[in-house]
Amino acid sequence: MCKYGLDDFLRLLIGAGLAVSMETAAQDAVGQDRHWTPVFESGRAERYHHAMAFDSARGVVVLFGGLKKHGPRGGTTRSGETWEWDGVDWELVAETGPSPRTEPVMAYDSVRGVVVLFGGEDPYTRNDTWEWDGRQWRQVAETGPFGVGSHAAMVYDVDRRVTILFDGQNRVTWAWDGVEWRHISVGGPTQRSYHAIAYDSDRRVIVLFGGWVRFINRGEYLGDTWEWDGVDWKQVAGTGPSRPTRRREATMAYDRGRRRTVLFGGDGGQAGLHDDTWEWDGVEWARGAVNPPPRRRGHAMAYDSNRDALVLAGGADYDGPFGDTWELRRLELGVEATCPDGGSMRIEWSGATPRGRIALLFGRNANGTVIPQGNPCAGVSLGIRGGVRILLEGTTGTGGGAVIITEHGPAACGGHLQLLDLTTCATSNVARIE
């Protein structure tokens, strides 16, 4: 906790250089209410073609399997490890359970409180079903969708209380109710593998994007978008400049906080690996966060609803697997002040880059302005205006948040604060001093 007076804040203008006439800036602003933040560098989860799901009851992301980095020369081996991410660190929680395998699929059954795992390759294609209760794995079925492997993609449908698997090889949609698998639809998306899938809990549809299909002499990368409403599949968007390009081995998850399905990365074949973020709102695709993790394929992503953050881990480029973890999250700012007479003021923020640089900005009005050229984060749109100046510029701690207690006079009341992450150029909400 830090204590400063407002006059002390103004003496801490150390190098960001933003106290200029922003009202004259150009209007081609870049908005940013979500940003990618590196939260774990490397070492414990260097792998790709693994599976992840978020256990909302225990508040952890569960990771299983994949091709794990093995040895100093960069070789890989199949993993049978189970890891959990609590928002701070990865913990190895099991080394027994399903056989070591790549390309399994997982989803969290929030009604029964278990993570469901299906299939994968070890190296044979598996069709077994397992469940993780946070303490141990239990095999619950020996048979199910047959010969699926990389053609499988799976999510949990919370409204219909079943786990849904789409078999892109045979174009069959399956449902797991905790007792048995049953196929509920035939047809829909064309034949494919390595496609991405997510469940939109607000619109109650499953969203599927892209993948790859093998022909006799070649393979084709796909860029189509489909939705499943519980009865039928429907193609809802094709390919084009305003949509993600064709790719396989991308990943998707539903961001419930913003009501968007988020897609990241993947392999575009001759177009190379991708590092772009896209968001689907049910009508159109739009570009997402512009400060991405490195290009990759075969990564996994899950939405942490407890912390309102998308967690991305692992993947690989042409040199081998990654062991980093990133979060796509919101930068939050709160203020409690004593108005109209002045007195104590509490400023708190969260979601900034751990050990990154931030600037706390003050403006008289809440209308938007744009950071002009020649400054850090030029072109970023702010939500404040009117004599914009820096009150504090510094470095965040390992958690990316802070609390500041200060004293303020009556003149500060009615003004507005906004936080700028100088590492990612993300901006927080605007907080009014009142």
List all residues 6 or more positions away from 296 whose beta carbon is below 8 Å from its beta carbon.
48, 265, 273, 275, 315, 316, 317, 322
Across the range 410-429, mean pLDDT stands at 90
> Both 238 and 265 in a single domain?
yes
Please provide the average confidence, as pLDDT, over all residues in the chain: 88
pLDDT tens digits along 106-138: 999 999 999 999 999 998 999 999 999 999 999
Question: The domain containing residue 222 runs over which residues?
Answer: 35-329
> Both 192 and 122 in a single domain?
yes
Question: Shortest CA distance to 52 belongs to which of 311, 266, 228, 269?
Answer: 311
pLDDT value of position 32: 57
> Both 128 and 236 in a single domain?
yes
List all residues 6 or more positions away from 46 whose beta carbon is below 8 Å from its beta carbon.
68, 69, 314, 321, 322, 323
pLDDT tens digits along 322-375: 999 999 988 889 999 999 999 999 999 988 888 888 999 999 888 888 888 888
pLDDT value of position 299: 97
* Residue where a domain stops, chosen among 279, 306, 329: 329
Question: Shortest CA distance to 23 belongs to which of 367, 403, 414?
Answer: 367
**Residue 392 pLDDT more than 90?**
no
* Residue where a domain stops, chosen among 303, 329, 355: 329
> Both 348 and 401 in a single domain?
yes
Burial class of residue 297 in the structure, from the number of CB atoms within 10 Å of its CB (0-12 exposed, 13-18 middle, 19+ buried): buried
For the chain, how long is the longest CA-to-CA vector?
78
Hey, what are 335's tokens?
């203020």
Across the range 92-99, mean pLDDT stands at 96
pLDDT tens digits along 400-412: 888 888 888 888 8
Q: How far apart are CA 393 and CA 4, in angstroms?
A: 13
Q: What percent of the chain has pLDDT over 70?
A: 90
pLDDT value of position 434: 93
CATH number, residue 163: 2.120.10.80
CA atoms within 13 A on the CB side of 174: 24
> Both 251 and 373 in a single domain?
no
pLDDT tens digits along 281-311: 999 999 888 779 999 999 999 999 998 999 9
Q: How far apart are CA 335 and CA 361, in angstroms?
A: 13
pLDDT value of position 54: 98
Burial class of residue 254 in the structure, from the number of CB atoms within 10 Å of its CB (0-12 exposed, 13-18 middle, 19+ buried): buried
> Both 398 and 297 in a single domain?
no
Q: How far apart are CA 82 and CA 96, in angstroms?
A: 8
Q: For residue 6, what pLDDT band results from cuts at 50, 70 and 90?
A: very low
> Both 203 and 242 in a single domain?
yes
The count of structural domains within the chain is: 2
Burial class of residue 75 in the structure, from the number of CB atoms within 10 Å of its CB (0-12 exposed, 13-18 middle, 19+ buried): exposed
Three-class DSSP category at 411: helix
- Which strands, in side-by-side order, build the sheet including 181-186? 152-157, 162-167, 172-176, 181-186
> Both 117 and 101 in a single domain?
yes
DSSP label at residue 353: P
pLDDT tens digits along 19-71: 333 443 333 334 456 789 888 887 666 899 999 999 999 999 999 999 998 76
> Both 215 and 114 in a single domain?
yes
Strand 273-280 and strand 285-287: the pairing is antiparallel
Bridge partners, 414 (sequence order): none
Its pTM stands at 0.85
pLDDT value of position 291: 79
> Both 397 and 273 in a single domain?
no
> Both 231 and 339 in a single domain?
no
> Both 128 and 12 in a single domain?
no
CATH number, residue 339: 2.60.40
List all residues 6 or more positions away from 186 whose beta carbon is below 8 Å from its beta carbon.
171, 172, 173
CA atoms within 13 A on the CB side of 17: 8
* Residue where a domain stops, chosen among 329, 348, 380: 329
